[in-house]
Amino acid sequence: MSPWPLVAAVLVFAAGAWSGREWELGQQAQRDVEAQLARQTDARQQRQFNDLVAGRHAARLEVLNGKLGDAYAHIARLDRAACLDDRTVRVLNDTGVPDNRGAAAGEPARPAEAASAAGGGLRWASNISVGNYIAYCRTEYGKVSKQLDEILDIEDRRHPPPK
């Protein structure tokens, strides 16, 4: 028996295996290209969505700033009569001042009276000062609330709930 048919069979098998491997590599490359295109499309859509949200946020901020300006103009027309007594103003001044529970080791704890005295603050409040603080707080709340809603919307888009 001649070795040539066996050599031919081995060569045909090797050529088939080689072409099969090339085909598999081509398929893998095609899947890689499709995955890259999908990632690029996702990134582009995310940028477009973020641009849209940023535009909405800027418009909302402009509206809030306009309302704040209107509120300040109205407040400027108020009188300077005292509308809150000193105890109420002290409570408001103490709001946001860390209390004794938050003192770190080595730091002296401040009593509440010292905190309000050290914080400066007002001894009484007029209609104008109260109006200014309320307008400022409402505007800041509006900004933070809208930003939080937008962040939650972005997170919902990034991580949709399972279906």
CB 134 within 8 A of CB 92: no
| Average pLDDT of span 43-70 | 85
pLDDT recorded at residue 113: 43
CB 93 within 8 A of CB 116: yes
Instruction: Give domain status of residue 31, yes or no.
Output: yes
For residue 150 the two structure tokens come to 């937008």
Q: Does 102 score more than 50 pLDDT?
A: no
Please give the residue that has the higher pLDDT: either 14 or 96. 14
Instruction: Give domain status of residue 107, yes or no.
Output: no
Range of the domain at 35: 8-40
Instruction: Give domain status of residue 25, yes or no.
Output: yes
Rounded to the nearest 5°, which phi and psi values hold at 83? -120, -15
Percent of the chain with pLDDT over 70: 74
Instruction: Give domain status of residue 102, yes or no.
Output: no
How sure is the predictor about 112, in pLDDT bands with cuts at 50, 70 and 90? very low
Instruction: Give domain status of residue 134, yes or no.
Output: no
Rounded to two decimals, the pTM is 0.39
Each residue of 27-50: pLDDT tens digit? 888 889 899 999 999 889 888 888
How sure is the predictor about 116, in pLDDT bands with cuts at 50, 70 and 90? very low
Instruction: Give domain status of residue 16, yes or no.
Output: yes
Counting the structural domains of the chain, the total is 1
Each residue of 122-162: pLDDT tens digit? 566 677 777 778 888 888 888 888 888 888 888 888 887 77
Instruction: Give domain status of residue 57, yes or no.
Output: no
Instruction: Give domain status of residue 103, yes or no.
Output: no
pLDDT recorded at residue 10: 80
pLDDT recorded at residue 103: 45
pLDDT recorded at residue 37: 92
C-alpha separations of 71 from 5, 58, 65 in Å? 98, 20, 10
Please give the residue that has the higher pLDDT: either 121 or 65. 65
Q: Which of 44-58, 60-74, 108-122 has the highest mean pLDDT?
A: 44-58
